[in-house]
Chain A
């Protein structure tokens, strides 16, 4: 079933149109990657799905319900339901530096008055789902590596059993080894939670998006210029911008002979 649907969504910041008539849909169990460069509107798209910016026109349907119309108590109730959870680029922004990892992860459950025994089970399940070592739970965020912190932030988002996880540049701040662990955790999560969870992953890094997404959406100057199966978008890009983007990604081709160096002019 369709979990998230954007219908002709536009967002303006003052007189500047940041998103111009976006339409896309995401089914439960799907991972959709949104790739775009700085200024393309990626983060605004994430904010619109979280209802932290006002849209100018169009609809954002989560489980069939238009969240752009929610106001006051209805908006607070929707937020508290935890149906959509967000993971930031920098996990230090979502983890309180003075709170132990275990308590940070369980915070959403405490707010929702989930009984302690169930809360413990859910925390254990979420920690396991992201492949975080249970020994790390009593520590403060400063005692974890960047990749461990990011996986703790993902676990924290998972405990409230969201329908949709929105991840904005989840691996961009990480070194190669940590990035690999987070991407593997997200791939395992998708396998483990199957049809219960959809993920919208936003990044400028098309390589790590391609490694984890079923579908790729290419955002350019506030418009979707391409939307298709990951394999097809990368192998047979249709839009000129997508072609330029893919051609710009450095490749390693070991079949190439060593390019001869030009002689220096004196």
Chain B
């Protein structure tokens, strides 16, 4: 199979806006009208995940992310959105295994990849940040030293240059007083600042896609807005692709041009964000939109 077209549109994937061109190259018109779509960086196709006791948790989910695109994944806790992302990173919780479908990275089969194989792409092709940044850092060590270590291990930056590179990375993310932040420990930094440090670590080895799984959920709304703007800027400037996972449809709508709606381990709806918002096809998507209508601020602003 060529590495151009890796994902065939399937009913489950809900790629309603994806059409096949006569040349056999898949075009996603909602994403990039008229140009040839690059191969997916990471994809799962009809993925089935099963717990150790035999309970099926994810029932045939398809998802693909291509260079530079922002894909939104919406759903409540337990809908399978985080498990699917963990399958893309090769970090499924113990006991959970792939019992159907496939996982591919850069077109290569990763469904049964070894930890060694995963280590060659984790961080370098696919980075990730999660909800609670403090739990990924050692509270006793300054964050700068931890960032420098990540740079040495993932990006193979020489020890002598790691500190300088850490400074540049944080500087790139728009952090002021970088030298102070590098010396500080977890307890001295705000949630928003810790999440920026985690994003810097995730981007240390310059991955093509960043998975942000509820990465702004625990933050104040103004800090959330700053981080979403940062992600949008990284996309613009580096062509970083994003998988933005959130229970909040509005957050996803701000950033992503394509969205998948998860419910009970399935993708119940997917396609161009504007289409999903304008004409939601599934009752669950409609309920998300009506909840937003009740608690969003739009009704005051019209």
Interface of A with B (CB < 8 Å)? 37-38, 175-177, 179-180, 183, 204-208, 210-211, 230-231, 234-235, 244-254, 256-266
Contacts and interface: CB of A to CB of B under 8 A. Distances in A.
Contacts, number: 114
Given A260-B32, A263-B68, A248 B224 contact: yes
A238 B126 CA distance: 43
B291 A176 contact: yes
20 contacts: A37-B222, A38-B191, A175-B77, A175-B247, A177-B291, A210-B300, A235-B300, A244-B222, A249-B221, A249-B296, A249-B297, A250-B250, A250-B251, A251-B254, A252-B253, A252-B292, A252-B298, A261-B69, A263-B32, A263-B68
Nearest to B226: A248
Interface in B64-102: 67-70, 76-77
A176 B238 CA distance: 35
Contacts of A231: 300
Contact of B257 (A247, A253, A258): A258
B195 interface: no
A175 B76 contact: yes
A223 to B, nearest CB: 16
Contacts of B248: 250
B70 A261 contact: yes
Contacts of A247: 225
Contact of A251 (B70, B250, B294): B250
A245 B222 contact: yes
B274 A254 contact: yes
Residue among B223, B248, B251, B301 with most chain A CB within 10 A? B301
A228 to B, nearest CB: 12
A210 B68 contact: no
Given A37-B223, A253-B253, 9 more contacts: A204-B220, A204-B221, A207-B295, A231-B300, A251-B297, A252-B249, A256-B274, A262-B236, A263-B32
A264 B277 CA distance: 26
B175 interface: no
B289 interface: yes
Residue among A210, A230, A252 with most chain B CB within 10 A? A252
B17 to A, nearest CB: 9
B222 to A, nearest CB: 4
Contact of A262 (B228, B239, B277, B296): B239
Contact of B301 (A183, A205, A234): A234
A180 B35 CA distance: 44
B298 A251 contact: yes
Given A249-B297, A260-B32, A254 B278 contact: yes
A259 B257 contact: yes
A262 B297 CA distance: 29
B226 to A, nearest CB: 8
B301 to A, nearest CB: 6
Nearest to A184: B294
Contacts of A235: 300-301
